[in-house]
Amino acid sequence: MADIELTLPDNSKLKVKKGSKGIDAAKKIGKKLAEDALAIEVDGKLQGLDFKLEENTKIKIITKNSKDGLEVLRHSASHVMAEAVKELWPNVKLGIGPAIEDGFYYDFFKKEPFTQEDLKKIEEKMKEIIKGNKEFKKKEMNKGEARKILQEKGEKFKIELLNELEDGKISFFESGKFMDLCKGPHAKKTGEIKAFKLLSTGGAYWKGDEKNEMLQRVYGTAFFKEKDLEEFLKQKEEAEKRDHRKIGKELDLFSINEIVGSGFILWHPKGTALRNQIMKFDEQEHLKRGYEFVTTPHLFKADTWKTSGHYNYYKENMYFLEIDKQEYGVKPMNCPAHIMIYKSNQHSYRELPIKYFEFGTVYRYEKSGVLGGLFRVRGFTQDDAHIFCSLEQLKEEIKKVIEFCLHVFKVFGFNEVAVKLSTKPEKAIGTKEQWDKAETALKTALEESKIEFEVDEGEGVFYGPKIDFKVKDSIKREWQLSTIQVDFNLPERFDATYIGNDSKKHRAVMIHRAIFGSLERFIGILIEHFEGKFPLWLSPVQFKILAVGEKFEEYAEQVNKKLLEEGFRTELDLRAETVSYKIREGQMQKIPYIIVVGEREKQNNTLTVRDRTGQQKTFSLEEFIKEKKKEVIEKK
C-alpha cells in the first residue's frame, strides 16, 4: 500500500502507510506518545485514535494533560454519566452530553427532577463503571440501521438528532452493554477517568427552545489529576460567593422581571450609578483619543438590514415589526448606522481616520434556555466604535486600539491578558491582497506593541481577520472582552469610499471594536472580580453618613451636603436604628467608607471614618475630601 505524508505540529514530516490509524502514527512517533495518546487532530478536527489516515494531511496527537485531551476526557465522563443514569432509571430518555469549557453535562428526559441524593447515586454508579475499566468501542453503520437501534431503545430525542445528520456513516460509542449515538472521540477505556465530580442539576429546554420539552440537565467536571479537581472545586466555591446575580440583589443594583421579559435588565438607582461611572470614564478616554460621538435609532427599515446582509444571514437573531406597511428591524448592532453617517458626506483621505463612537443599545434574540443574569441577555449596550481608514493607516490605528484596550484593562484591575489573532477562514470575502495586508497590519501592530499572541489559523470572520483579548479576574478565571475586527464587507455593501490623493474614489477599510463588549456583561464580570467591593471611584454609594443621636443629625446633614457638592455619592442614614446596626448594614452593602458623627466630631468639625476592613480614623472634613478626591482621581 502506498505511503502518505503527515505533517506534524513542528512542520516535520512522517510517512505512514495509507489507511494507517491515528494510533499507528502515534506509535511511529514514539512509544511514550502512544501510551499518553487520547485522540488525534486531523486538519484541525478531533478524531478518535482509530481514525484512518487516507491522504497527506496535518496531524497532532492529543495527549493527556492537554486542553484538547481534557475535552476528550470530559466527553468520555459524560458518556459514563449517561450509562449510570440509564442503569439507575432505565426509562429515562437521552438528550445530548457535550464537553463544555469547565466540564460536561448531559440532558435527560425524566419527569421528576434529579435531587442531590440522586447525584450521589449517579456518582457511585459512575465509579463502578470506571472501576470496570471498560473499553470505549466505536461502531459505525448507515442511517437506516442507526434509526432501527434508536427506535428499539425508544430514544426519541436521539432520533431527532439522527434526522439532522447527513446521510453516510453514523457513529455510536459502546462501553459494556451501553451504546450511545455520538461522534466521539472518547478515551480508550473508562478507567482513564480518574478525578470527576457531579456539580449541579437544573431544567433545560430541548435545544434551548422554550417551545420544546423540559429536560433535566446534570452538570459535572473531570480532570486527569485529583489535585486539579480539588483546585477547581475550591475556585468554584469562591466563584459562587461572587455570583453577580446574588451580589447584584444584595447591593440592589439590578433586577430581571418576568413581566418585563427575560433577558432585559432593569437597572436600579445604585446599578445605574455604577453604570454611569463606567460610561463617564469611557467617554473621557474616547475624547482623549479623537473619537466623535454619534447617536443612532433603535429601529431601521428592513432595507438597511438587507443591504448589510443581516436580513439573510442573521434574521433569526433579530426582532422585526411592521409600521405603515413597511417592515422594520430592531438593531442587533450599530455598524450600518455608523456607515450611513459616514456616507452622508464625501470624505477626503486628509480627513481619515474618522472614528465614530456610541453607547449603542442593541437587541438580539437569544433562546430562553441560554439566558443568564447579566452575562447573556436580549437587550444590551455596547461601547461601540467604528474607525474608517485606508489600508495604509490600518496598522497604526490598530496599535492605538490595542493601547486603549490595555489601558482600560489596567484601570479595572485586569493585569493578566491573553491575545489571539484569527486569520482568514475557508469562506471569506475580499481579495487575497486585502486579507494579506489586513493580517499583516494586525500581526505587525501586535509585535510593535510588544504583545505576545497566539495565531488561530482560519478562525477569522468571513469579512476580515480579528484580534481577541481575554483577561483573568481576581480568582484567575478567563473572560473574553475586547475584539478588534477588520471589515471589508460592509464598506463594500454600502459603498463607503473616500477621495484619495490621486483624486479617485477608494474603498474605506472599517475597524469594528468594542472594549467592554457590552456594559451588561462587563458589569457582571466586574461585580464578580471585585466581589461587589468596588473601588471608591466606581462604588454606587461612596460614603454612608450616620449620627449617634438626634442632636447631631443637623451636623450629619451639613457633612452630607458638602460631600454632595464636592461630587461624591452619599447615603445619609437618619433612621431610628442603632449605630452598630447601621454600620453592620453598611458593611453588608460593601460601602467603602462609613462616616459617624457625634459630639466630638461636631465640636471639632471632624469625621470618624470606618473603612471596609474595619479600620477607623478621624479626619477634618477638608482633609477627608482632599484625600478621597485623590483616591477617586487615581482610581485605586
Q: Which entry of 384, 468, 473, 573 is annotated as an active-site residue?
A: 384
Q: Where are the domains of the chain?
A: 3-63, 70-235, 255-296+331-530, 543-634
What pLDDT is attached to residue 220? 97
DSSP string, 469-528: EEEE-TT--EEEEEEEEEESHHHHHTT-EEE-TTSSEEEPEEEEEESSS-HHHHHHHHHH
Q: What is the CATH number of domain 3-63?
A: 3.10.20.30
| CB count in 10 Å sphere of residue 391 | 17
Q: Which entry of 245, 246, 364, 493 is annotated as an active-site residue?
A: 364
- Is 386 a catalytic site residue? yes
Q: Check whether 2 has a pLDDT greater than 70.
A: no
Rg over alpha carbons for the chain, rounded to the nearest Å, is 29
Q: Report the CATH fold assignment for 255-296+331-530.
A: BirA Bifunctional Protein; domain 2 (3.30.930)
CA 528 from chain centre, in angstroms, equals 14
pLDDT band at residue 617, thresholds of 50, 70 and 90?
very high
C-alpha cell at 337: 448606522
Q: Which entry of 242, 443, 466, 513 is annotated as an active-site residue?
A: 466
Task: Give the mean pLDDT of the chain.
Answer: 92
- Is 389 a catalytic site residue? no
- Is 584 a catalytic site residue? no
Q: Which entry of 60, 512, 582, 602 is annotated as an active-site residue?
A: 512
What pLDDT is attached to residue 1? 52
Out of 235-239, 356-360, 369-373, which region has the weakest mean confidence (pLDDT)?
Answer: 369-373
Owner of C-alpha cell 470505549: 136
State how far the Cα of 560 lies from the Cα of 563, in Å rounded to an integer: 5
User: Which tens digits make up the pLDDT trace of 52-68?
Assistant: 888 888 989 898 878 88
What pLDDT is attached to residue 434? 83
Across residues 155-172, what is the average pLDDT? 92
Domain 543-634 indexed as CATH 3.40.50.800? yes
Let me know: does 40 contact 48? Beta carbons within 8 Å.
yes
Of 470, 542, 526, nearest to 244 (Cα)? 526
Phi, psi dihedrals of residue 607, rounded to the nearest 5°: -135, 140
pLDDT band at residue 372, thresholds of 50, 70 and 90?
confident
Q: Which entry of 216, 382, 434, 542 is annotated as an active-site residue?
A: 382
Residue 402 identity (one-letter amino acid): I
Q: Report the CATH fold assignment for 70-235.
A: Threonyl-tRNA Synthetase; Chain A, domain 2 (3.30.980)
Q: Check whether 515 has a pLDDT greater than 90.
A: yes
- Is 107 a catalytic site residue? no
Q: Which entry of 217, 386, 443, 628 is annotated as an active-site residue?
A: 386
Q: Check whether 198 has a pLDDT greater than 60.
A: yes
Across residues 82-90, what is the average pLDDT? 96
CA 294 from chain centre, in angstroms, equals 27
Alpha helices in 412-460 (DSSP H): 432-448
Q: Which entry of 158, 282, 331, 335 is annotated as an active-site residue?
A: 335
Across residues 203-214, what is the average pLDDT? 87
Across residues 243-271, what is the average pLDDT? 95
State how far the Cα of 352 lies from the Cα of 444, in Å rounded to an integer: 21
Helices (H) and strands (E) in the chain, counts: 20, 35
| Fold match between domain 70-235 and domain 543-634 | no
What angle, rounded to 10 degrees, do the helices at 156-164 and 143-153 form?
A: 160
- Is 364 a catalytic site residue? yes
C-alpha cell at 321: 415589526
User: Which tens digits make up the pLDDT trace of 310-352?
Assistant: 888 888 899 999 999 999 999 999 999 999 999 999 999 999 9
Across residues 33-38, what is the average pLDDT? 86
- Is 384 a catalytic site residue? yes
Q: Check whether 428 has a pLDDT greater than 80.
A: no
What pLDDT is attached to residue 313? 80
